[in-house]
Amino acid sequence: METTWLSIARYQAYNVRAFDLGIMSQAIWSATQGHPLVFTIEGIALSRLARHVEFIYFLLAPLYALWPTPQTLLVAQSLLYVAGTFPLYILALRRLRSSGAALVIALIYLFYPVAQTAVLFDIHGDTLAMPLFFFVIEALDRKAWRSYTVWLVLTLSCKFYIAGLVAALGGLLWLRGQRRIGLMTALIGLLWGIATFWVIRSFFAPPEAAQLQATTASYVSHYFGDWQNIKDTIGIRAVIALIVFLPVLLLGWRAPIWLFLAGIITIPTLLSTGPGSS
């Protein structure tokens, strides 16, 4: 388990910081005490539900209660990442009818540099969403609607902006002729995005919300407000985009419409001027 070992080694070598493993650990620990994922920043108590709405962390709280150390979260994230190989392998085997090709697809994901970098960078809701979304796609492919719904809900619980990915998936399905499930998926994504970004975040926001990027305006300004920075760094951003997408294009050109889904998350990230997606 290479990613698990590297995650733990990074932690034990004091190569992690409060941002982000520290604040995620504190937030999940607070859930074990009956609080809504509360952490402290700049001396102010703030809930993760006022920032990125990561309900998935409540599911990690029982594990953290049993083994109250940040290493528990690193191991859980790494194991979930590895678990993403199963739906990928099954889906590829069903579609390609070749165990060898299916194995290659699973290994490409497992050793994909950008994905491994995400797993090794502390713990984040969107990293947890990555393998969960593969379970969504696999259930969709075999039309297992109950499983599809469960995995979809779990994926949405990882971060509020995953709603954009889900809504886009619904739109894609609708365009490809799966009108009913496409419409339902798009509506679920759209309604969840509205509820999380404008309702849940506001409900848990403290009086100092604007200072902590917990209001709509302050959040958008913090992550996308420095246009001069984007202009000055457009070259390096283009290089990063090439690094991220080039390996995908080796296979993705055969079904380019699915690259649209990848762009829903990666393009805003490439244009962000914030310090990260925590």
Helix (H/G/I), strand (E/B), else coil: 39: strand
pTM: 0.91
- Is residue 159, in this structure, part of any structural domain at all? yes
pLDDT tens-digit series, residues 39-53: 998 788 899 999 999
- Is residue 196, in this structure, part of any structural domain at all? yes
Q: What is the pLDDT of residue 209?
A: 67
Q: What is the pLDDT of residue 208?
A: 72
- Is residue 256, in this structure, part of any structural domain at all? no
Neighbouring residues of 45: CB distance < 8 A, sequence distance ≥ 6: 38, 39, 206
Q: How many residues does the chain have?
A: 278
Total number of domains constituting the chain:
1
Q: In this model, does residue 276 exceed pLDDT 70?
A: no
pLDDT tens-digit series, residues 105-127: 999 999 988 889 899 888 999 99
- Is residue 148, in this structure, part of any structural domain at all? yes
Q: In this model, does residue 278 exceed pLDDT 60?
A: no
pLDDT, average across residues 189-207: 93
* CA-closest candidate to residue 123, choices 185, 176, 63, 182: 63
Tokens of 163: 């709603």
Please give the residue range of the domain that contains residue 180: 2-210
Question: What is the spatial distance between Cα 104 and Cα 96, in angstroms, rounded to a whole number?
Answer: 11
- Is residue 253, in this structure, part of any structural domain at all? no
Tokens of 104: 């290659």
Q: What is the pLDDT of residue 44?
A: 84
pLDDT tens-digit series, residues 69-92: 999 999 999 999 999 999 999 999
- Is residue 117, in this structure, part of any structural domain at all? yes
**Long-range pairs for 107-114 at CB < 8 Å and ≥24 separation?**
108/247, 108/251, 109/84, 109/85, 109/134, 110/82, 110/85, 112/247, 113/243, 113/247, 114/243, 114/244
Question: What is the spatial distance between Cα 77 and Cα 105, in angstroms, rounded to a whole number?
Answer: 21
Q: What is the pLDDT of residue 80?
A: 97
- Is residue 255, in this structure, part of any structural domain at all? no
- Is residue 231, in this structure, part of any structural domain at all? no
Residue 47, beta-bridge partner list: 38
Question: What is the spatial distance between Cα 17 and Cα 205, in angstroms, rounded to a whole number?
Answer: 24
The answer to whether 265 and 165 are in contact (CB under 8 A) is: yes
